Amino acid sequence: MSITVQSFGIKEALNKLHIKEINHGSAYGINSFGEGELLNSYSPVDGELIGKVTATTKEEYQKIMASAEEAFTTWRIMPAPQRGEIVRQFGEKLRELKEPLGKLVSYEMGKSYQEGLGEVQEMIDICDFAVGLSRQLHGLTMHSERPGHRMYEQYHPLGIVGIISAFNFPVAVWAWNTALAWICGDVCIWKPSEKAPLCGVACQNIIAEILEKNNLPAGISCLINGDYKVGEFMTSDKRIPLVSATGSIRMGKIVAQAVAARLGKSLLELGGNNAIIVTPDADIKMTVIGAVFGAVGTAGQRCTSTRRLIIHESIYDTVKNALVDAYQQIRIGNPLDENNHVGPLIDKDAVNMYQKALEKAKSEGGKTVVEGAVLSGEGYQSGCYVKPAIVEAKNEFEIVQEETFAPILYLLKYSGEVENAIAIQNGVAQGLSSAIMTNNLREAERFLSAAGSDCGIANVNIGTSGAEIGGAFGGEKETGGGRESGSDAWKIYMRRQTNTINYTTELPLAQGIKFDL
């Protein structure tokens, strides 16, 4: 194993997480050699090899599935509050390992260390939420039209939940799904991104220890590794009633079709082309803070990153100039150095995508406000560091209609009333997150109304990034329609059952139908 960032405690973090040079995760334990091909995990921070995992073979997958099926027979009949106790212990262990896991997230994925810690905190928060939920998996009671009958509905565990997560949140999105699924009595099989596999191994190490300590089957939490071909094992498997997939719209459409073909359920969290509307009544200082963090946080690699800033013509130049000044203060470099604001993109493919997007914007008539560039030299040897860019554009540009996973912010101008800005905001295929900056109550309420933002998330006087655990997270249109995390998102991990009990000595039929023998 090659670790070069010694001063930031990476090697110590890996030791605490029991990460060895070659790791293979499955229901049968971690850090063992598998039979599949080796996948290398390179850090975008310095380009160094962190470690390797073996891709899961079809034969290994079948063994893992058998383990999960067997574990489900035990886990589903355990009372939900007892399942909650296991999740509580998992959350406590995450508190103990927050620092090393946060460092691994930062080093393997490239987000800032503070964001890495924040991601682990999201895992802790969803565990806390799930523990409380374990005593609230309630149904409804209904009045029957037949005398002496009682009707109610209840929720039962669904079965095996397949989870496919993306590189940008290599641990939190898995936890959003699995903590709720475990509470609901499901067992989980997780395929983390092949671009951040060690984060998956670390999480599996943690929960495997908890399960072993409580004499519970290892198959409650299973890990498989590999590219899209390994993901296809799950999407085509009738034994998996629900597949939760986070990633690109292209990937989501493939998953949705494969799962629907076998009449399974899919929970999709796909792309976002998120906008902030800035009205004449906006607080400019708040606007700049929200827009800058939304656009450059995680190097623009959040599904909720701010891609478009829709500014009223009367304050357009004021906001633009304030943004230019703010961008001059952005510090780009090693994300483990807390003095830096922006780390690298995930890999050189992402850098190429960033460059092509800027070229496309210019070819369509976009005007560069803050020039982008690929950084090189000392500290940037991985070739994955880029400068956040700002481009004046129009919403109808092809490149503006797309989601580019990079720190590129498009400035769009609107005139007239807020309805015109909302039309621009809604005028894309994606519908994840949106925001409006205004101190005008009528504008805010218009934005939140049924005729306002068409996104799953709509904020007032905060940016598009930064969702809280308590609310359901997800979006509409090509974002996929899925909901994770808070509110009643737990229901998708369960099957609903309506029950009718007849406590009389007669058998009356519904709707007054007579059937006498």
Which among 207, 129, 196, 136 is positioned nearest to 167, based on CA atoms?
Answer: 196
Q: Which two tokens stand for residue 506?
A: 């007669």
Tell me: pLDDT of 26 over 50: no
What is the band of 23 on the pLDDT scale with cuts at 50, 70, 90? low
Tell me which H or E stretch contains 223: strand 221-223
SS3 content of the chain, % helix, strand, coil (to 5): 40, 20, 40
**DSSP secondary structure code for residue 6 in this structure:** G
Residue with more model confidence, 467 or 349: 349
Q: Quote the pLDDT of residue 5.
A: 47
* Fold observed for domain 274-468: Aldehyde Dehydrogenase; Chain A, domain 2 (3.40.309)
DSSP-assigned states of every residue in 24-40: --BTTBSS---SS-EEE
Residue 471, Cβ density class (10 Å: 0-12 exposed, 13-18 middle, ≥19 buried): middle
Catalytic residue among 48, 122, 269, 403: 269
Q: Which two tokens stand for residue 291?
A: 């827009």
Q: Quote the pLDDT of residue 253.
A: 97
Catalytic residue among 303, 403, 455, 478: 303
Q: Quote the pLDDT of residue 22.
A: 53
What is the band of 31 on the pLDDT scale with cuts at 50, 70, 90? very low
- 165, 174 in Cβ contact below 8 A? yes
pLDDT in tens, 358-387: 999 999 999 999 999 999 999 999 999 999
**What pTM was computed for the model?**
0.95
- 287, 312 in Cβ contact below 8 A? no
CA–CA separation, 420 vs 193, rounded Å?
39
CA–CA separation, 425 vs 97, rounded Å?
40
Is 269 a catalytic site residue?
A: yes
pLDDT in tens, 322-371: 999 999 999 999 999 999 999 999 999 999 999 999 999 999 999 999 99
Which among 159, 174, 185 is positioned nearest to 101, based on CA atoms?
Answer: 174
Tell me: pLDDT of 28 over 60: no
Residue found under tokens 């009718």:
500
Residue with more model confidence, 463 or 34: 463
pLDDT cut 70: percent of the chain above it: 96
pLDDT in tens, 153-163: 999 999 999 99
CA–CA separation, 115 vs 44, rounded Å?
16
* Fold observed for domain 59-270+482-496: Aldehyde Dehydrogenase; Chain A, domain 1 (3.40.605)
Tell me: pLDDT of 97 over 60: yes
Residue with more model confidence, 510 or 490: 490
Residue 412, Cβ density class (10 Å: 0-12 exposed, 13-18 middle, ≥19 buried): buried
What is the band of 7 on the pLDDT scale with cuts at 50, 70, 90? low
Q: Quote the pLDDT of residue 259.
A: 98
Longest Cα separation, the chain: 90
Torsion angle, alpha carbons of 58, 62, 67, 72, to 10 = 110
Tell me: pLDDT of 309 over 90: yes
CA distances from 507 to 123, 142, 501, 502 (A): 51, 19, 11, 8
User: What is the overall mean pLDDT for the chain?
Assistant: 94
Tell me: pLDDT of 33 over 70: no
Contacts of 516 (CB under 8 A, 6+ apart): none
Q: Quote the pLDDT of residue 2.
A: 36
The domains of the chain are located at 59-270+482-496, 274-468
Residue with more model confidence, 423 or 27: 423
As a three-state string, the secondary structure of 180-201 is HHHHCCCEEEEECCCCCHHHHH
pLDDT in tens, 115-141: 999 999 999 999 999 999 999 999 999
How do 430-431 and 476-477 pair as beta strands? antiparallel
Residue found under tokens 């890990």:
223
- 430, 272 in Cβ contact below 8 A? yes
